[in-house]
A and B are shown apart, each in its own frame.
Chain A
Amino acid sequence: MKKVIQVKTDDPGKKKFHLVVTGPVEKIVDILPGSVFLKGVPGDTLETVVNIIPVEKYSFSILGMEQKGNTGIHLKLIESKAGKKSWQVKIKCTSDKAQNLYDIVTLKTDSLYKPKLIIRVHAIFIEKKALKS
């Protein structure tokens, strides 16, 4: 990881300079995919699954799930029972009309490093005619 901070001063020899913070950062979880983007026509059911796999070294559990409030997006958290500790979030989106749905899903964990995991969900329902053109 490398972050660069720009500093502006009135020193005529150094009106602008950079401070750098850099170093290795280790992953503690894999979230696949990191954000969800679904597209369909009104009346369709758009579905996908997000896999959450904690890195063994930093193992944690998911305690719960929160949704900001879009009624068109339905979520289900499933814990894997076989092998490695992992979770799945099943996402279903439905709409009878052309519209855009957006929600932020927050997963609460018992991890010291990441007590919250965030998944962004976009679902776009477009009329068939608009899709063809």
Chain B
Amino acid sequence: MNDLLMDGLLKQLPFVKVVHQETIELDRSFEQVAASFANELLLNVMGKKRIMKKNITLIAILIALFFMPQNGLAQPKILIDMPVFNFELIPEGVSIAHEFKIKNIGDTLLHINDVLPP
């Protein structure tokens, strides 16, 4: 009954038809909005997971770089303040002693492989 009336009205009054159609469209769009909202929510959650995954990967790389010295980056570095020892006048036959201080300012262990006396 209502449908028949509505059809008659729609035939006679184009305005009502438009309103009716718009109402229907509004109903549809509500569903669509709800669906799209749900989609967006899902995507956000997934996106956050992705961002978290990215962050964890980045932190792991930084930790690895910090704690695991690699050949190309970490190396010993020698620092010698005074490589020349200049002594005062001494008579021949006197023995003198001197300590040369060798410092390692690098980031790995320094090895003295050989010392060749004069």
Contacts and interface: CB of A to CB of B under 8 A. Distances in A.
A72 to B, nearest CB: 31
Given A23-B86, A23-B87, A5 B117 contact: yes
A19 B83 contact: yes
Contacts of A21: 85, 87, 96, 98
Nearest to A112: B93
Name the prevailing secondary structure of the B interface residues. loop
A17 B94 contact: no
Contacts, number: 89
B110 A11 contact: yes
A28 B86 CA distance: 21
Interface string A24-58: 11111000000000000000000000000000001
Contact of B87 (A4, A19, A22, A113): A22
Given A22-B84, A23-B86, A113-B92, A10 B114 contact: no
B90 interface: yes
A18 B102 CA distance: 12
B115 interface: yes
- Give the interface size bracket for B toward A: 20 to 34
Contacts of B77: 11, 13
B88 interface: yes
Contacts of B111: 9-10
B116 A6 contact: yes
Nearest to A27: B92
A7 B104 CA distance: 14
A25 B91 contact: yes
A33 to B, nearest CB: 17
B94 to A, nearest CB: 6
Nearest to A117: B93
Given A20-B85, A23-B86, A27-B91, 10 more contacts: A3-B118, A9-B112, A10-B113, A14-B78, A17-B80, A20-B84, A23-B89, A24-B90, A25-B90, A114-B92
Interface of A: 3-14, 17-28, 58, 111, 113-114
